Amino acid sequence: MTQTPLNIGVLGAGRVGTAVARQAVRAGHTVTIATGKPAADIRLLTEVIVPGATAVDREDLRSADVIVLAVPLHKYQSVDTSVLRDKVVIDTMNYWAPVDGFMDEFEAGTSTSEVIADFLGAARVVKTLNHIGYGDLEVDSYPAGDPHRRALAVASDDAEAKSLVSAFIDSLGYDPVDAGPLAAGKAFENGTEIFNGRHGAARMQELLSECSRVLCNA
Ligand SMILES: NC(=O)c1ccc[n+]([C@@H]2O[C@H](COP(=O)([O-])OP(=O)(O)OC[C@H]3O[C@@H](n4cnc5c(N)ncnc54)[C@H](OP(=O)(O)O)[C@@H]3O)[C@@H](O)[C@H]2O)c1
């Protein structure tokens, strides 16, 4: 890894949280992982599934440089917002009514991450990692410059947070592509060509531009 190692906190020890945590450990970052339960409850799981990461209580994530939020979207209101206050938070979550149930706030046409940012209040929300399957994250990773390298879109209203997260995405083995503000995250939500596909950086840029002209009305 060429980037500076970061302290990465992961909230949610399910499919996505553990896959991101494993890839982050592999990239040389210091990784802590928590759920809503005490650290002891996920210590064994962490040792076995994410060797190199440390299970912590959720309050201990506050010392992380970046916190990856990987809980089911329908549970977002149960997240302890005090842990995420003023933190750079990667929102990996997606809305899918058959799984999450019908939720009015996610049917209104805004990006789901705007709803999450409103809920979290002071957090510096960055949307990315939602549009890659958890099973792909580790196997689709390539070094910078490799022609097979896949791109991941990154959206945020906070330029500094977006830059930090983009460096993190690069360290995981993906080309970060700036998607613009959080509202533009609609371009890579469930049902879009970006969400359903595997794209290099040039094609990702094209798809994001098409979206900003058509879908996002920007
Ligand atoms: N499927 C994919 O490939 C994919 C890819 C990218 C993004 N996503 C999105 O990522 C999100 C997470 O999906 P997943 O499949 O990883 O879910 P999952 O396997 O069900 O895991 C969810 C994790 O979140 C924890 N959790 C639940 N409520 C919490 C809370 N209030 N505070 C802290 N931790 C909490 C759970 O802990 P307990 O078990 O203790 O409740 C569990 O460890 C979803 O929105 C999904 O759409 C999915």
Domain extent listing, the chain: 7-213
Q: Is 35 in the pocket of ligand 1 (CB under 6 A)?
A: yes
**CA-CA-CA-CA dihedral for 204, 148, 191, 156, to nearest 10:** -50
Which residue among 23, 37, 71, 131 is best mutated to probe the pocket of ligand 1, counting the most ligand atoms within 8 A of its Cβ? Answer: 71
Q: Which CATH number fits domain 7-213: 1.10.580.10, 1.10.10.10, 3.40.190.290, 3.40.50.720?
A: 3.40.50.720
- The pLDDT value given to residue 1: 42
Contacts of 179 (CB under 8 A, 6+ apart): 127, 153, 154, 155, 185, 187, 188, 208
Query: Rounded to the nearest whole angstrom, what is the distance from the C-alpha of residue 16 to the centroid of ligand 1?
Result: 7
- The pLDDT value given to residue 216: 54
Query: Rounded to the nearest whole angstrom, what is the distance from the C-alpha of residue 89 to the centroid of ligand 1?
Result: 15
Q: Which two tokens stand for residue 34?
A: 């928590």
Q: Is 75 in the pocket of ligand 1 (CB under 6 A)?
A: yes
Q: Which of ligand 1's atoms lies nearest the C-alpha of 131?
A: 6
* Cβ burial 153-165 (10 Å sphere, 16+ → b, else e): bbbbbbeebbbbb
- The pLDDT value given to residue 211: 81
- The pLDDT value given to residue 215: 58
Distance CA 90, CA 99 (A): 21
Q: Is 46 in the pocket of ligand 1 (CB under 6 A)?
A: no
- The pLDDT value given to residue 196: 86
pLDDT tens per residue, range 94-149: 999 999 999 999 999 999 999 999 999 999 999 999 999 999 999 999 999 999 99
Residues 174, 150 contacting (CB under 8 angstroms):
yes
What residue ranges of the chain have pLDDT lower than 70? 1-2, 213-218
Distance CA 66, CA 123 (A): 11
- The pLDDT value given to residue 214: 60
